Amino acid sequence: MDQFNYRNGELFCESVPVARIAEAVGTPTFIYSAATFRDHYTRLAAAFAELDPIICYSVKSCGNLHILRLLAELGAGMDVVSGGELFRASRAGFSRSGPYDPGKIVFAGVGKTDAEINEAIDAGIGWFNIESEAELANLIRIARERDMGGRKGEAPVRAALRVNPDVDPKTHRHTATGKRESKFGVDLERARSVFAEFGRNSLVRLTGFHLHIGSPVMNLDAYVEAITKTLALIADLRQDGFTIDTLDIGGGFRADYEGPGSPSYADYAAKIVPLLHGQGLRIILEPGRTISANAGILLARTTFVKHSGDKEFVIVDGSMTELIRPALYDAYHFVWPARPGVGFVPDPRGKDIRFPGTKLVDVVGPVCESGDFLAKERALPPIKRGDLIAVFTAGAYGFVMASHYNARPNAAEVLVDGETFRVIRRRENYADLVAAEE
């Protein structure tokens, strides 16, 4: 599923040894594989081809401009959740004068401001994914004011109502979004009254539904349940004379955090495609991590190895400021040295692997928080100062969640393509830390 492999005792990204990147660019650095991005996107698109969906890549998962362009070249649209992400998408080329169609942008988020809404209408995005009645009423007000403000005849704004189908995706409590009490969307009963009130508005055409039940969702039946419930609602509303032409089923698809074994795209498609085929709906997908997670690693260098009580700590120059998922979600990321030494290859990727000669260690960063760890109680080969450590499946919700805590400049991002690599975001320096204050 990805292009990070050990060859002759050394970790490569595609055809480039990651140690060579560390020499050139330093650490900590996010390293992405272009071939993996392409492979994930094209295989997902192929699995769902029968539905001819618009695949709106979730910018929030990994939003570097070069990655957005790489996916746009393959036909992707963009899923954005803020004015900043919309700006990223337009800088990547999704604009009226750019190479990519801004009509393939969907804009979700529970708290869109008036400024963000106006920017999105100006940009000509495809759909607003609406999270509440209050938001929809506000969108209609803005559309009316624009229409009366001398811009008559603007194309109507399109909207899809986000519903909570009340399913349990069995994922982390912070990433489950489809339960009835979620802050996202409205429950199915409420959706009917939203359509009764707003479903015939001429300035904002409410003709779609949006779902996103959580992530990652490895329980395929959760999708089936959510979609089935929403289709029943769509059928009822159509009977009442409403036009419903779009269904956005969100993201949340697989990523291999704990080694191979998560469901394949074909598994998702086998469950989802038959439900949606022939329903007269334009289908939108919003995949994020399934495309980006296994397409990136965080490469860090060991600063010290330290013993405290019975514990051994490998202190590296990467931390929660680069990758907060372990601290925030207790997330598991496979961690292994870039040059593990004789006897520790090939790549043993997978949870709970025990190699003879390994030792249980915690891999931690230098940040002043005991929550600053990348891996706990892991059986690793002997590590010494200077060794490079790779944190796998770090392409999604890695760099995008980075902070400057402890005044740490943000890491560099590097994109490998075949035998070459290039810096797609330079490492920040100390001046960057204070630039907005001077």
Ligand X SMILES: Cc1ncc(COP(=O)(O)O)c(C=O)c1O
Q: For the segment 54-73, give every residue that binds ligand X (CB under 6 A).
A: 58, 61
Q: Give min distance, CB of 250 to ligand X, in A.
A: 5
Q: How many residues bind ligand X (CB under 6 A)?
A: 17
What would the 3-class secondary structure string for the chain be?
A: CCCEEEECCEEEECCEEHHHHHHHHCCCEEEEEHHHHHHHHHHHHHHCHHHCCEEEEEHHHCCCHHHHHHHHHCCCEEEECCHHHHHHHHHHCECCCCCECHHHEEECCCCCCHHHHHHHHHHCCCEEEECCHHHHHHHHHHHHHHHHCCCCCCCCEEEEEEEECCCCCCCCCCCECCCCCCCCCEEHHHHHHHHHHHCCCCCEEEEEEECCCECCCCCHHHHHHHHHHHHHHHHHHHHCCCCCCEEECCCCCCCCCCCCCCCCHHHHHHHHHHHHCCCCCEEEECCCHHHHHHHEEEEEEEEEEEEECCEEEEEECCCCCCCCHHHHHCCCCCEEECCCCCCCCCCCCCCCCCCCCCEEEEEECCCCCCCCEEEEEEEECCCCCCCEEEECCCCCCCHHHCCCHHHCCCCEEEEEECCEEEEEECCCCHHHHHHHHC
Candidates 88-96, 211-219, 231-239, 270-278; binding stretch for ligand X (CB under 6 A): 211-219
Candidates 6-14, 225-233, 280-288, 404-412; binding stretch for ligand X (CB under 6 A): 280-288
Q: Which of 13, 56, 62, 368 is catalytic?
A: 368
The residue written with tokens 């986000």 in the block is 162
Q: Which of 38, 112, 146, 212 touches ligand X by CB under 6 A? A: 212
Q: Which of 165, 216, 340, 381 touches ligand X by CB under 6 A? A: 216
Q: For the segment 390-419, give every residue that binds ligand X (CB under 6 A).
A: 396
Identity of the residue, 1 or 19, whose beta carbon is nearer to ligand X in the bound complex:
1
Identity of the residue, 79 or 317, whose beta carbon is nearer to ligand X in the bound complex:
79
* Whether 332 contacts 351, CB under 8 Å: yes
Residue 196's contacts (CB-CB under 8 Å, 6 or more residues apart) are none
* Whether 303 contacts 316, CB under 8 Å: yes
Asked if the bond preceding 28 is cis, omega within 30° of 0, the reply is yes
Candidates 9-17, 44-52, 209-217, 401-409; binding stretch for ligand X (CB under 6 A): 209-217
x/- site string to ligand X, residues 74 to 113, per CB under 6 A? -----x----------------------------x-----
Q: Give min distance, CB of 78 to ligand X, in A.
A: 11
Q: Which of 199, 251, 337, 340 touches ligand X by CB under 6 A? A: 251
Q: Which of 102, 252, 365, 395 touches ligand X by CB under 6 A? A: 252
Residue 185 binds to ligand X (criterion: CB under 6 A): no
x/- site string to ligand X, residues 281 to 310, per CB under 6 A? -----xxxxx--------------------
Q: Give min distance, CB of 330 to ligand X, in A.
A: 17
Residue 132 binds to ligand X (criterion: CB under 6 A): no
Q: Give min distance, CB of 146 to ligand X, in A.
A: 26
Q: Is 368 a catalytic residue?
A: yes
Q: Give min distance, CB of 29 to ligand X, in A.
A: 22
Q: Give min distance, CB of 248 to ligand X, in A.
A: 8
Q: Which of 215, 294, 319, 393 touches ligand X by CB under 6 A? A: 215
Question: Which of these, 56, 124, 126, lies nearest to 96 by C-alpha position?
Answer: 124
Candidates 26-34, 37-45, 250-258, 319-327; binding stretch for ligand X (CB under 6 A): 250-258
Q: Give min distance, CB of 422 to ligand X, in A.
A: 25
Residue 250 binds to ligand X (criterion: CB under 6 A): yes
Identity of the residue, 182 or 410, whose beta carbon is nearer to ligand X in the bound complex:
182
Identity of the residue, 2 or 372, whose beta carbon is nearer to ligand X in the bound complex:
2
Identity of the residue, 132 or 302, whose beta carbon is nearer to ligand X in the bound complex:
132
User: By the criterion CB under 6 A, which residues form the site for ligand X?
Assistant: 58, 61, 79, 108, 212, 215-216, 250-253, 286-290, 396
Which residues are identified as catalytic?
Answer: 368
